[in-house]
Structure 1
Amino acid sequence: MLTGAGRKEFIFRLDPSAELQTHQGVLRHSDLIGVPWGSGVESHLGKRFFILEPTLRDLLLHIRRQSQIVFPKDIGYILLRLSVVEGMRVIEAGTGSGAMTTALAWAVGKEGRVFSYDRRADMIDLARRNLVRVGLEGRVDFRQRDIEHGFEDSDVDSLFLDVPNPHDYLKQVRRALRSGGAFGAILPTTNQVSALLRALGDHDFGLLQVCEISLRFYKRVPDRLRPEDRMVAHTGYLVFGRPILDVAVDGPVEGGDEDGAG
């Protein structure tokens, strides 16, 4: 990744015969190959850029998109709640442009596997190209399939839905998710959340949690530290639960708030 004045970022794969053309000048890829991370380089106009290894956040914000993506502020908590780590097998449904797919592929590592479902071939093609761009395509199997007909994969560790009506697919979710696995979904409206909560109770899911993540940045001036004028607030409601084998008669096991929140 190259970053220059105004914190403009450029993420690309190096090709010895290629050039990066920017409004601050041209940089030849051949001049960048082998340069250590953190080094400064100059364009033909003498404008300075820095070479940095892209973080997962950088990769997610620079994917090519044709649909709304799951934002990094939500993805971080989703990975935590689904406990996605090296070697895990994870299903996601609703591939879209592939932001969540990219994060899952990053988290499961070389020994893990992501199974990504979408009905639309064009979205799968876009997500695959985004993964190729960041070198993670080898960790993902794409399935063009309507999940109403069930998942091809089973006994997975975690399962995440980014679809309009997740409450309609919980029978299929339980069949694919291993006993004790983790389930999550993201939804834009409260009525969808209510429908999912009712369905989770009907399908013996417990430890339910509903939340949303807000993110506020601060101005980077030590003597006048205060919040930025704008903040990233509501982007979606997150719902999590666990399949329970022995559910109490009076309903699903309740999930608590985060540590220290009561």
Structure 2
Amino acid sequence: MIEPGQLVLLISQKGKRYLRKFEPEGEVHTHDGMLLMEDVRKAGFGQYVRTHLGRPYLVLKPTLHDLIKGVKRQTQIMYPKEIGYLMLKLGIGPGSRVIESGTGSGGLTTALAWFVGETGKVYTYERREEFYKLAGKNLERVGLAQRVEQVNQNIEEGFVHTGADALFLDVRTPWEYLHNIPGAVIPGAMCGFLLPTTNQVSDLLRGLEDGPFADMEVMEILVRRWKPVADRLRPDDRMVAHTGFLVFARYMEEPKEDETPAQPSEEDLAREIDEAASEDVGSADNG
């Protein structure tokens, strides 16, 4: 049963897609004629409904992939191939609290909001007001706005939120903001970054090496699809190749002075060497 407010994906025979919230009295106007939402409800998910001109449309419950593809954009959004790995690497799940900067059109924000569930929260920062407003509309459109707190400010001023489980920056010069991360996340939190060029990655790595970060990883994800024809199975002529570098690092809180392991004295080192030498001689005699 399709409930009021539930998202519905309508697909024509030519592949045209319409993502709509179900409203019992609603209508969807297409190039193939008008669809009544009441007819959509009667048909149900996985079935076909016809426009007033008799053209069939498939009724589907949208997946996260569908929601991201349907984002209205003024900026380049992250590809699903990066988003999937990013979610696993950052450990995003129900109840997670995650900080994002560089909201853009809200593609990644949508995915984060989907994964944190009703008990988690996404705090997303965007300095440009036009993108801030667009992302808000996209989140409202897919019913995920309540899981997201938007902040319209530049992160050079720091982060308003603290104690996040993970952090992701999609900004041009992330190394300039690394000093703000310790106050925003918990110790041991995974941090991710997206950058398009190698020189930017090098600058970021230098910053991470100088800061309280460990477990650095740099990678790119390539996807090559194959033509799904059993008798002519071969790769597509085009592929989604390089779209950006993903960089990951774990924030490690620097140990306090009283928690720093004591360094052995020269006398202790000499004693350990003598004891080790005695054990080696004893083993040789027994042999």
What TM-score does the superposition give when structure 1 sets the normalisation length?
0.90
Q: Which has more radius of gyration?
A: 2
The whole-number CA distance in structure 2 between the counterparts of 1:241 and 1:126 is 30
Query: What does residue 233 of structure 1 align with?
Result: 241
- Deviations 1:160-201 (CA, angstroms, capped at 9, x unpaired): 000000000011012211101110010111111110011001
Query: What does residue 121 of structure 1 align with?
Result: 129
Match for 2:249: what amino acid? G
The whole-number CA distance in structure 1 between the counterparts of 2:22 and 2:94 is 27
The whole-number CA distance in structure 2 between the counterparts of 1:171 and 1:12 is 42
Secondary structure (helix, strand or coil) at the match of 1:95 reads: coil
Q: How far off is 1:130 after superposition? A: 0.3
Query: What does residue 63 of structure 1 align with?
Result: 71
1:72 aligns with 2:94: no
> Structure 1 or 2: larger helix share?
2
Query: What does residue 151 of structure 1 align with?
Result: 159
The whole-number CA distance in structure 1 between the counterparts of 2:249 and 2:62 is 32
Query: What does residue 215 of structure 1 align with?
Result: 223
Q: How far off is 1:244 after superposition? A: 2.2
The whole-number CA distance in structure 2 between the counterparts of 1:134 and 1:99 is 11
1:188 aligns with 2:187: no
1:42-121, aligned counterparts within 5 Å? 42-121=50-129
The whole-number CA distance in structure 2 between the counterparts of 1:203 and 1:170 is 8
The sequence identity of aligned pairs, in percent, is: 47
Match for 2:86: what amino acid? I
Q: How far off is 1:83 after superposition? A: 0.7
Query: What does residue 259 of structure 1 align with?
Result: none
Secondary structure (helix, strand or coil) at the match of 2:84 reads: helix
Match of 2:252 among 220, 244, 248: 244
Query: What does residue 254 of structure 1 align with?
Result: none
Cα-Cα RMSD: 1.4
Q: How far off is 1:246 after superposition? A: 5.7
Match for 2:88: what amino acid? L
Secondary structure (helix, strand or coil) at the match of 2:113 reads: helix
Q: How far off is 1:2 after superposition? A: 1.1
The runs of 5 or more residues in structure 2 that have no matched partner are: 1-8, 256-287
The whole-number CA distance in structure 2 between the counterparts of 1:94 and 1:245 is 25
User: Which shows bigger deviation, 221-230 or 160-169?
Assistant: 221-230
Match for 2:235: what amino acid? P
Query: What does residue 5 of structure 1 align with?
Result: 13
Q: How far off is 1:34 after superposition? A: 4.9
Secondary structure (helix, strand or coil) at the match of 2:168 reads: strand
- Deviations 1:191-215 (CA, angstroms, capped at 9, x unpaired): 1111001100111211110111111
The whole-number CA distance in structure 1 between the counterparts of 2:244 and 2:28 is 36
The whole-number CA distance in structure 2 between the counterparts of 1:24 and 1:146 is 45
1:26 aligns with 2:28: no
Question: How many matched pairs?
Answer: 247
User: Which shows bigger deviation, 145-154 or 104-113?
Assistant: 145-154
1:175 aligns with 2:194: no
The whole-number CA distance in structure 1 between the counterparts of 2:119 and 2:240 is 34
User: Which shows bigger deviation, 28-37 or 80-89?
Assistant: 28-37
Secondary structure (helix, strand or coil) at the match of 1:110 reads: coil
Q: How far off is 1:25 after superposition? A: 2.7
Query: What does residue 257 of structure 1 align with?
Result: none
The whole-number CA distance in structure 2 between the counterparts of 1:198 and 1:35 is 58
User: Which shows bigger deviation, 214-223 or 42-51?
Assistant: 42-51
Paired residues of 2:43 and 2:49 also in contact (CA < 8 A):
no
The whole-number CA distance in structure 2 between the counterparts of 1:179 and 1:246 is 9
